Amino acid sequence: MLSGEELTFAPPGVLGGVFGNAGRVDFCVDLVRVGRPVGDGDADEAQRDAGVVGDLVVDVVTDAEGEGTGAIVEDDQQLVKFHGMYLQDDRDLRPERTRKKMEKAFAFMIRVRVPGGVLSPAQWLALDQVARDYGNHTMRLTTRQTVQLHGIIKSNLKATLKEIDAALLNSIAACGDVNRNVMCGANPEQGPAHAAALELARKVSDHLTPQTPAYREIWLDGERIAGGEDNVVEPIYGKTYLPRKFKIVAAVPPSNDVDVFAHDLGFIAVLDDKGGVTGWNVTVGGGMGMTHGEEDTYPRTADLMGFCATKDAVAIAEAVVTVQRDWGDRLNRKHARLKYTIEDRGLDFFRAEVVRRAKVVLEPAKPFKFTSTGDRYGWSQAADGRSHLTLFVQNGRLFDHASAKQLSALRQIAQSHDGNFRITPNQNLIVANIPIERQTEIHWIAKEAGLLAPWSGLRRNSMACVALPTCGLALAESERYLPDLMTALDESLAAHGLSSDDIVIRMTGCPNGCARPYLAEIGLVGKGPGRYNLYLGAAFDGSRLSKLYAEDLDHGAIVAALDPVFAAYAAELQKGERFGDFTIRAGFVAATGNGRDFHANVAKQAARAAR
């Protein structure tokens, strides 16, 4: 075993810091081959387009072609996504290693599956240990309410996944063309309603998890089924899995922390007068990804499809997934998400097929109201006298650095905590169910580690994807740049008396939208190195998409473009008016309806921004 302790590590923000131990390889990992489900080559495209995916195990082989390399062959790079991992390299080091004729600094990112984002202290400690023993000494809390572990070299994959399994966790289906980690509202103060959402998230996740024994056979040395994979039938995914990834959430009003309208399938709790759940409104057809310059790709907010009883929710989920399995576009991956299926087929036609398959009658959607998408920071009280502390984790990255030892602080809390940890969909963390006698101690541990919420309303409502140096799709910085940009924007906001105003800002390094930037009041999407498209006008409650305001801006241009908007907001806002709503009323951007309307009516505001 190669320990991360043996290797040089620099924290994020330092050149090459996200890969603490990349490039050390001793042997190759046993992998398995699949019927080329998501390959990028022409042959792989042809097979996938024909619907050939097969099972996740066909034959267990040694990746002999990978000996002496930190990578794996291209086919296996696509396969392992279904097992919850990506092969990456440190892009900061590419130029130097190219000059020296060295291989790229390869390592893997493993994404853990944590339905509902709830971890026990023992599970938190296990992931912390894995991050230090095998990873790059960081834990990355994601926008999908789970944990990513970066910098894991190939020879440590099996050992890492065995440690994760020992904590009763796994990474299967955390990536790939399959249902991903199921999210739910993270606020434990919502009591029975949150418990119902968590139970639903776990039931749906369990029901939609692939049944193949491949994961256990490969990574955990499980016993192979007699006769091999030919005897294993995926009851939901079949031989073809899904045309693209699939995302499911459960929200509990008035909090829309999960961004329910951003996902393929959503359940919105309908509450009675006592806060109990009477059933669920069902949403379908949300999604964030698009491609720059291709207006037939666009983000979309989900449609309300109807209301179902709790007992029928899993059946509805299966029906929605199988309709998308059968109707989704397998010829064009840019048109393969459920949002396009519904745009093409129509909501009524889609609903009728879901009802037919689920054998459930959907009632009309019932009234509900969201107020925000953010987290409630600080302390909140539970009915039993225990309390919950919501911590601020900047862009989800936890690590020890000179001024704040965050991983060590949370390890100290977990070692004697008898409650649990709850990852929020906003990349933050709740230490839940803290007894009265430990509240002061935990508060000061968190304060010393810089984990309490900042004064800046902009920073409190910020999110960023990882982007450079590890994401192969990134066109620009995100996680490493957003804090510096917010420092500059905070100066502008302070000059206009807006420092504490809650304004949602999100940044991604590419247009795929992992941090849901098109539902942020200020959205910044990477266009190229150091340059971003600026979007304004999304709703604070996550119900309306933004609109392009200005293109291809560098740092100075972003600050210059937003300062007059902040000035106008400070001078002209109406009582209770949110920043996104103001930008529409004041004419900075047009309101976006949905789908194809995202790219419409941008000329007016682009001209104003240019002035």
The helix (H) or strand (E) run that includes residue 127 is: helix 121-133
Question: Which residue, chain included where needed, has tokens 């600026």?
Answer: 534
Q: How far apart are CA 53 and CA 34, in angstroms?
A: 7
The single residue of 180, 325, 422, 544 carrying the catalytic annotation is 180
Q: How far apart are CA 267 and CA 247, in angstroms?
A: 12
Contact 334, 378 (CB under 8 A): no
The single residue of 91, 132, 514, 578 carrying the catalytic annotation is 514
The single residue of 175, 184, 308, 471 carrying the catalytic annotation is 471
Active site (annotated) includes residue 308: no
Q: Would you state the structure tokens that stand for residue 315, as one six-digit string?
A: 């059946």
Q: Would you state the structure tokens that stand for residue 341, as one six-digit string?
A: 């299926």
**Cβ neighbour number for residue 120 with a 10 Å cutoff:** 17
Query: Which string of b and e fits 345-378 if b means at least 16 CB within 10 Å?
Result: eeeeebbebbbebbebebeebeebebebbbbbbe
Q: How far apart are CA 379 and CA 255, in angstroms?
A: 17
Active site (annotated) includes residue 180: yes
Question: Using N-to-C axis directions, what is the helix angle for 313-327 and 347-358, rounded to 10°?
Answer: 120
Which 3 state secondary structure label does DSSP give 63?
coil
Active site (annotated) includes residue 247: yes
Active site (annotated) includes residue 184: no
Q: How far apart are CA 404 and CA 431, in angstroms?
A: 18
Using DSSP bridges, classify how beta strands 60-62 and 30-32 pair: parallel, antiparallel or unpaired.
antiparallel
Sequence-ordered strand ranges (E) for 260-386: 265-271, 277-284, 303-308, 378-381
Q: What are phi and psi of 113, to 5 degrees?
A: -90, 115
Active site (annotated) includes residue 245: yes
Active site (annotated) includes residue 510: yes
The single residue of 81, 104, 154, 245 carrying the catalytic annotation is 245
Contact 595, 343 (CB under 8 A): yes
The single residue of 184, 244, 465, 544 carrying the catalytic annotation is 465
Q: How far apart are CA 308 and CA 70, in angstroms?
A: 49
Q: How far apart are CA 453 and CA 460, in angstroms?
A: 7
CA triple 544-549-555, angle to 5 deg:
120
The single residue of 175, 330, 510, 544 carrying the catalytic annotation is 510
Active site (annotated) includes residue 111: yes
Query: CA distances (Å), 312 to each of 203, 280, 308, 329, in order?
Result: 12, 9, 6, 27
Q: Would you state the structure tokens that stand for residue 398, as one six-digit string?
A: 């936890």
The single residue of 48, 104, 111, 544 carrying the catalytic annotation is 111
Residues acting as catalytic residues = 111, 180, 245, 247, 465, 471, 510, 514
